[in-house]
Amino acid sequence: MKTKIILLAAALYTSVSFAQKLKGSDTVLPLGQKEAESYMKSNKAAKVTVTGGGSGVGLAALVDGTTDIAMSSRKMKMGEKMKLQEAGKTSKEITIAYDALAVIVNPANKVNQLTREQIEGIFTGKIKNWKEVGGEDLQIVVYSRESSSGTYEFFKEHVLNNKNYASSVLAMPATGSIIQSISQTKGAIGYVGLAYIEKEVKDVKVSYDKGKTFIGATMETAKNKTYPIIRPLYYYYLTTVEKTVKPFVDFCLSAEGQKIVEQVGYVPLSK
């Protein structure tokens, strides 16, 4: 009888430990969902739930213990590390894929390429009309992710050279709403992860050498690193739950998991 109780307790513990939550980056969201789907198919006892909200939201949930894995499209900030430290927690950072960040416009826009300096000018409010960058006489409507987004942070740091976004920039809560807004607004511009590029929008070629070469965001240019706006995508988890989350994380890093990365539209880790 005692053995039966112990076995039953072990079985209950196992089934509980298979329930996992992922929360955070909107960029990582479609990848996290697909990985979870495939993982649960081959691990019937597993239950993995995946929700977005932005990198900052995911990392805050990690700190307060309401998620097992924080999905992030940026590195953890010093302030977030300090909060973990104060709570007596330590975390682990895993790079799960790479992403090319594409600059997108409405398909009716005749502008097909922009230099980094021109993009900076547009997002900081110095350039306000498309005719200033070779387009028609049309006001530029700028869309961005909101400040809790890792994509917002990364774009500010690596494309705007840490300059502030203009106050006129329209902050959107999710990547999907940026796509929708740009597809409906002729003068619009914004930025999204490679996996989000759809026919309703057009990505512009980008130059990081003052206009000598312009490269578009594709799987090929992201893989060979010729496209200039590339970033790692992360999972963060607490070391205390490593045993619970490791099977899922290992699956994401496996050959099968990395195949899903490419299927979703992101760049797999080179083996």
List, for residues 129-175, the tens digit of each pLDDT value.
999 999 999 999 999 999 989 999 999 999 999 999 999 999 998 88
Q: What is the pTM of this model?
A: 0.85
Predicted confidence band at 196 (pLDDT cuts at 50, 70, 90)? confident
Q: What is the CATH number of domain 2-98+233-264?
A: 3.40.190.10
CB 171 within 8 A of CB 145: yes
Alpha helices, H only, the chain: 2-17, 29-42, 55-63, 78-86, 116-123, 150-158, 175-184, 219-223, 242-253, 255-264
The encoded tokens of residue 205 equal: 């070629």
CATH 3.40.190.10 placement within the chain: 2-98+233-264, 100-223
- Select the CATH number that applies to the domain covering 100-223 from these four: 3.30.420.10, 3.90.1150.10, 3.30.1490.20, 3.40.190.10: 3.40.190.10
